[in-house]
Amino acid sequence: MKVLVTGSTGFFGKYVLNELKHLAYSVDTIGRNNSATIIADISKAVPLLHEKYNMVIHVAGKAHVVPKTELEAQEFYNVNLNGTKNLINAFQHNPDCFVFISTVSVYGLDFGENITEKTPLNSLEPYGKSKIMAEKALVSWGKEKNIKITILRLPLIFGKNPPGNLKSMINAIQKKYYFNIGKGDVRKSMVFANDVAKFIPNIASKGGVYNLTDGHNPSFRELSNIIANHYKIRPSVAVNYSVVLFMANIGELIQKVFKLKMPINKRQFSKMTKALTFNDNKARALGWNPKKIIDNPNEWLTNDL
């Protein structure tokens, strides 16, 4: 099995690469890093790929950043959309199947429960919208070239030393300034990086679009208690809903008047107080059987305070 992987040096890409090596696949990697087999910046140019690949796993993408300018917003399209187009135009020999790592952000929803793959793609933000456009380009290319296209829409990804919101939550709990709102019982979908990596070789030849979650959708209270217990820290305090709403309104006002980024505003408050969960039954019918995040803290928490 000959495989090409993009984004292999990133947080999730490392899990994908480790799994492929475990399976003893022949793997090429493409990226700007000198460790890549093929050094190229696909966001800027079309490389020449002469090899025939059985499978391509396109992990590379831009995320975890809130754009502050038009230039920063455009970078999402440069990487997520143009990078994808440049990649699929690079093959001298069409691959048998192509796996694209997408995101549940394509739905454009801040809250909702049991959201399926049939939900309209309504994201208006650069991250989600650029992924929507990349998905559409891949589906069109797959139909034209008769290539199996598999799109995996992922929620928050768990693993050791994670980026983004999970890292921020762990840091806040370690520094003892994290708090839950009310009972902290709002649930969010999440998934282990290594579970997704192991599923890719099985689902790649089938094609289709799939949400992937751990099936439990932990609450903020569950996660914060696990983190606190792991680091032997007192459990996070609970702050009254009305108090945090007041703080969010003040933060919103300061942002509008002084153009300053505040730690909490109305939208963040909404995200923290409303569930956002996704349905992964479609993938489960094809063998998706992930671990629960809350049952395996050693897979996403380090021993370092």
**Which of 154, 155, 151, 108 lies closest to 127 in space, CA to CA?**
108
pLDDT tens track of the chain, all 305 residues?
A: 999 999 999 999 999 999 999 999 999 999 998 999 999 999 999 999 999 999 999 999 999 787 889 999 999 999 999 999 999 999 999 999 999 999 999 999 999 999 999 999 999 999 999 999 999 999 999 999 999 999 999 999 999 999 888 998 999 999 988 889 999 999 999 999 999 999 999 999 999 999 999 999 999 999 999 999 999 999 988 898 898 889 889 988 888 887 777 777 887 788 789 999 999 999 999 999 999 999 999 999 998 76
Q: Which CATH architecture fits 2-161+189-215+276-299?
A: 3-Layer(aba) Sandwich (3.40)
Contact 148, 209 (CB under 8 A): no
Residue ranges per structural domain of the chain: 2-161+189-215+276-299
Contact 197, 27 (CB under 8 A): no
pLDDT score of 244: 87
pLDDT score of 305: 65
